Structure 1
Amino acid sequence: MSVTSSPPRTLQTSRLLRRFLQQHRGDSIRLRDLFQSMGSRAFGPTLLVCSLPEALPLPIAGVSAIFGIPLMLVSAQLILGFSKPWLPGWIANRSFKRVQFEKIINKGLHYLEKIERLVQPRWRFATTPGAERLLGLLLLVLAIVIALPIPFANMLPAIAILLISLGMIEGDGALIVVGVLSSCVLLAVLVGAISTLVPAGKALLAKLLAKLPG
């Protein structure tokens, strides 16, 4: 009589990040090493790691710029149906100080571990390859919003990306749907705000130009 054992559960993302900190003791950390340490989980971990610095209230100079471009590239690759994320060498080999990375991860783990207690595989329709390609389009739009020079506009889109990516990692379609709905509300508010501010800005500019000596 043969006994079939179920496949071992993969480590949660928070544990992988803790293990990475324990195994890499250098003064600097490369993006390539970070992404490779997350294992073969495809796009989810890469998106999560790239969005984490933006989702936290930590004003660390330079870190956002390092992760912004990979976030857009990986989102575009998800739309195109890549089997796994790819980053050019000039991005993958970029490094930043370990002290900065530890500050981001330790702060992020506080929230990440709480969310991980709630996630579970469910609502599989939101985790199919076709659904993930549609998610890539939404993620790309959110990544562009993050890249725009809008004060205080980075955190909410990054939180939405973080929720979606964690749902992709754990196969939790419900969490993905929560992230999608949050993104739609956020984008609707942003579009409404822009549509209000642009005419007001044009009117103000017209008044200023009218006051200039002819």
Structure 2
Amino acid sequence: MKAQDRPQKRPSLSLPILRTSRDQHRAGTLTLGNLLSAIGETSFGWAIVLFSLITLLPLPPGSTLLTALPLLVTTVQMSLGYPHVRLPGPLARLRLDQGKIRVAILRLRPVTRRLERILKPRYAALFTRRNERLIGVLLFIIAFALFLPVPLSGWFPAISLFTIGVGIVERDGLVTAAGMVMGAASVVLTATILLWLAAGADALIH
């Protein structure tokens, strides 16, 4: 088989983030706004990929109260029909740690490897303007579940948001839909844990 006839290997989903964050780190310009603008021109898909990745950084428990804020802002804007992401100044200027970004990407490699094998443009009807707003509403609910500092639940909403974001970037309706199913399950899990904690607290009080 000739070299030009062989199927080309799909570029890594994490490569643009790794390269751009490394270059900006060396230049001393690595901020949330700069990184997003460089990799995705403030598109919603790349924003969701990047912000869900940030929630997976090795940080102390309860950090999602801060790291999930960009996701809440982004998903609200998506549900309201904004043409692109508009980060508030303090969020855009937030400085990032390139080493921690790399660690988070490595933690996601089992997920990204599987996605890279199956991603392709399909079911484009899911990405109509009207449907994008509905997707934004669901993403906000998932992001809110991630925002809540509930023990044992944060990983699942973050992974589902990452999957949905990748699906949006690649215009893959099947992967996006699968991510939304995962996200709905993560919301149910978070609600279940909250109810369990509330019942336990009530039992202790009474």
Taking structure 1 as the reference length, the TM-score comes to 0.79
- Equivalent-residue separation in structure 1 for 2:54 and 2:121 (angstroms): 26
CA contact (8 A) 1:53 1:63 kept: no
Once the two structures are superposed, the pairs formed by residues 78-157 of structure 1 within 5 Å of their partners are 78-108=78-108, 111-157=111-157
After superposition, the Cα gap between the structure-2 partners of 1:147 and 1:165, relative to the gap in structure 1 and judged at 3 Å, is same
Aligned residue in 2 for 1:51: 52
Alpha-carbon shift at residue 109 of structure 1 (Å): 5.1
Aligned residue in 1 for 2:73: 73
CA contact (8 A) 1:120 1:170 kept: yes
Alpha-carbon shift at residue 80 of structure 1 (Å): 0.4
Read off the aligned partner of 1:118 and give its amino acid letter. Answer: I
Once the two structures are superposed, the pairs formed by residues 2-21 of structure 1 within 5 Å of their partners are 13-21=13-21
After superposition, the Cα gap between the structure-2 partners of 1:133 and 1:191, relative to the gap in structure 1 and judged at 3 Å, is same
CA contact (8 A) 2:51 2:70 kept: yes
Alpha-carbon shift at residue 103 of structure 1 (Å): 2.5
Q: Does residue 38 in structure 1 map to residue 43 in structure 2?
A: no
Aligned residue in 1 for 2:175: 175
Structure showing greater radius of gyration is 1
Q: Secondary structure at the match of 2:68?
A: helix
Aligned residue in 1 for 2:7: none
- Equivalent-residue separation in structure 2 for 1:47 and 1:27 (angstroms): 24
Once the two structures are superposed, the pairs formed by residues 152-163 of structure 1 within 5 Å of their partners are 152-163=152-163
After superposition, the Cα gap between the structure-2 partners of 1:203 and 1:100, relative to the gap in structure 1 and judged at 3 Å, is closer
Instruction: Structure 1: give runs of 5+ residues left out of the alignment.
Output: 1-10, 207-214
Read off the aligned partner of 1:59 and give its amino acid letter. Answer: P
Residue identity over aligned pairs, in percent, reads 26
CA contact (8 A) 1:41 1:169 kept: no
After superposition, the Cα gap between the structure-2 partners of 1:38 and 1:189, relative to the gap in structure 1 and judged at 3 Å, is same
Aligned residue in 1 for 2:5: none
Aligned length: 194
Q: CA RMSD in A?
A: 2.5
Aligned residue in 2 for 1:60: 59
Per-residue CA deviations over 1:125-144 (Å, capped at 9, x if unaligned) read 22222111111111111111
- Equivalent-residue separation in structure 2 for 1:64 and 1:199 (angstroms): 24
Instruction: Structure 2: give runs of 5+ residues left out of the alignment.
Output: 1-10
Per-residue CA deviations over 1:101-138 (Å, capped at 9, x if unaligned) read 33333444564244123100111122222111111111
Per-residue CA deviations over 1:56-82 (Å, capped at 9, x if unaligned) read 4x5334975553211100000001000
Taking structure 2 as the reference length, the TM-score comes to 0.81
- Equivalent-residue separation in structure 2 for 1:88 and 1:151 (angstroms): 29
- Equivalent-residue separation in structure 1 for 2:115 and 2:22 (angstroms): 22
